Structure 1
Amino acid sequence: MRSSPRSPSSRGAVGPVDMEDPFSATELGHLGMGSWQMPVMLRQPGAVDAPSVAVQRVSEEADLYGAERAVIESFGLDRFEPRKPGELFPVSLLDEPGVAIFVARVDGTVAGACVTVTANGFASHYWVGTTEAARSRGIGRAVMLGSLAPLSQVPVTLTASKLGLPLYEKLGFAEAASATWWSSSRA
């Protein structure tokens, strides 16, 4: 975060500032930021059902950009518009140890995506999203199941949105804690 030496503020940042405080121990309102709570969820190792829609791990640049487009749309990340491929998901992610990106398609177009990170016997899910046109069609569930399959032997965490919470609970995730999120755009 950028700030002036005299008065720290997220307003001095070049763009929006978003931060997660996983321990809910920090107060950032004095920096002009707003906050909200999100549950941190944990899924213990265990069997995973097969997805109803084909899910594939991304290995090609074109699929990476399809995943990026789906995430930007599903999260309403207007600050990435006009979109510059690789700005949110750089091509180097494909070679990053422990990082995997998964996609599901509808009519040949990426309609859902997520990123998993595995390290030290644990895994985490990030950027789980479905495009607006594909919502309520089982794509989010398929992406989760397809990405959980290779992680069935390790504990998996994620931070759940209100919309995703019911799905994650059905997939065996349970709330472990609550994290505070701070954003300069919610001030």
Structure 2
Amino acid sequence: MTTIDLADLRLAVPNATTLWTALAETRGHEVVRRQGFQAVAGDEHSGLRIVLRSSSPGKDDVDELTELAKGWSRGPVLVEDAFGSVDMSAIGLTPRKLPVMIRRPGDALPPPALEVVRVEGEEQLRAAERIVVDGFPLPGFQPYRPGQAFPAALLGRQEVELYLVVKDGELGGACVTVVDGGVGGLYWVTTLPEFRSRGIGRALMHAVLGGRLKELPVTLTAARAGKPLYDSLGFTEITQSTWWASA
């Protein structure tokens, strides 16, 4: 890919900031909002998460986010830059590239081949949380501690819904969806190791793309292992996002 689709990125990036805002507010963490970026100042488990909001952030915003990242001492640091607008190497952060993808509403998908349920209570929330923490995984939240990654208050956020997949009577996968401003987002599409290559991920995708997200453009940032599935479902790559992370 030689060009960045800024119009599609301007759908994807606000959806991501909506997710991180919901998580920050339910976890009791500070949110820093600027024109060029949004930051969540978490604890030693979630750390500092900065999402670039502009392809051309102002110097003051770049200076502020750089100082935030440079001075952070409570957990990991991650600067998510889908626009390629900053270079964090000078403060010791390491880049990796991840594809940002979008799917427009299109042909109907077949119903999921497995049972997919929307998370409705705290018991199901804990099941989804554990699957994501241990299966995705989320190292900062390991060993698993109930309610730390996904607090109970997350169930009250209308923009956020979670889903579980049942295979042979057992829970084998989970994901998080966000709907805001007429755009859907998919996060942490997770299959537990013992259930991989058994249709869990595809069942999740068929359920949410044929349900809550059916009439919306849907964005996600793909782990490389999941990209072939997303390709097969009609997602196209917008750009390679740079994630600058502490060691």
* TM-score normalized with structure 1 length: 0.90
Letter in 2 for 1:25: S
Give the drift of 1:97: 1.6
Determine the structure 1 residue equivalent to 2:83. Answer: 23
Question: C-alpha separation between the residues in 2 aligned to 1:102 and 1:134?
Answer: 16
Count of aligned residue pairs for this structure pair: 181
Q: Which of residues 86, 95, 104 is equivalent to 1:44?
A: 104
Aligned residue for 2:210, secondary structure, equals helix
Distance 1:120-1:129 versus aligned 2 partners, 3 A rule: same
Question: C-alpha separation between the residues in 2 aligned to 1:112 and 1:11?
Answer: 37
Letter in 2 for 1:179: S
Letter in 2 for 1:161: A
Q: Which of residues 102, 110, 118 is equivalent to 2:179?
A: 118
Give the drift of 1:134: 0.7
Letter in 1 for 2:193: E
Q: Is contact 1:51-1:146 (8 Å) kept?
A: yes
Question: C-alpha separation between the residues in 2 aligned to 1:75 and 1:13?
Answer: 25
Distance 1:10-1:132 versus aligned 2 partners, 3 A rule: farther
Give the drift of 1:139: 0.3
Question: C-alpha separation between the residues in 2 aligned to 1:169 and 1:109?
Answer: 28
Q: Give the fraction of aligned pairs with identical amino acids, expressed as a percent.
A: 43
Whether 1:131 aligns to 2:192 is: yes
Give the drift of 1:28: 0.9
Whether 1:58 aligns to 2:119 is: yes
Q: Is contact 1:11-1:184 (8 Å) kept?
A: no
Question: C-alpha separation between the residues in 2 aligned to 1:122 and 1:110?
Answer: 28
Aligned residue for 2:147, secondary structure, equals coil
Whether 1:88 aligns to 2:88 is: no
Question: C-alpha separation between the residues in 2 aligned to 1:156 and 1:146?
Answer: 13
Q: Is contact 2:208-2:214 (8 Å) kept?
A: no
CA RMSD of aligned residues (A): 1.9
* TM-score normalized with structure 2 length: 0.69
Question: C-alpha separation between the residues in 2 aligned to 1:143 and 1:133?
Answer: 16
Q: Deviations over 1:17-76 (max 9, x none)?
A: 123111111111122111111111010112222111110110011111111111112223
Aligned residue for 2:150, secondary structure, equals coil
Letter in 2 for 1:39: P
Q: Is contact 1:124-1:158 (8 Å) kept?
A: yes
